[in-house]
Amino acid sequence: MSAPAGRGPTSVTIVRRDGDPFETESLESAAPAEEPAHVAILHKLFYDSTVDLGALVRIEGRTYLCTRTGWRIVPSSPER
């Protein structure tokens, strides 16, 4: 992934390529991905079929989950 001019490389890690879409339902109401650069990366990964529903992707330390209602921010928890 390329970074915008003037910034260093963006750190992108695919934690899980897919998962159980029914397990993702609990996070469908979580905050949506809103950072434009992150959204662009997440959409590219999905539309290129690199990831699917249930995927977990970490970008610059923030973790996102692919749900039926779009990319959602995974809330931080003590075990993460």
Helix (H, G, I), strand (E, B) or coil at 13: strand
Could you tell me the pLDDT band of residue 10, with boundaries at 50, 70 and 90? Answer: confident
pTM: predicted TM-score of the whole model, two decimal places: 0.83
Instruction: For residue 53, list its beta bridge partners.
Output: none
| Section 32-52 average pLDDT | 96
Domain residue ranges of the chain, discontinuous segments joined by +: 12-73
Dist. CA 19–CA 2, nearest whole Å:
27
Phi, psi of 43 (to 5 degrees): -65, -40
| Section 8-21 average pLDDT | 89
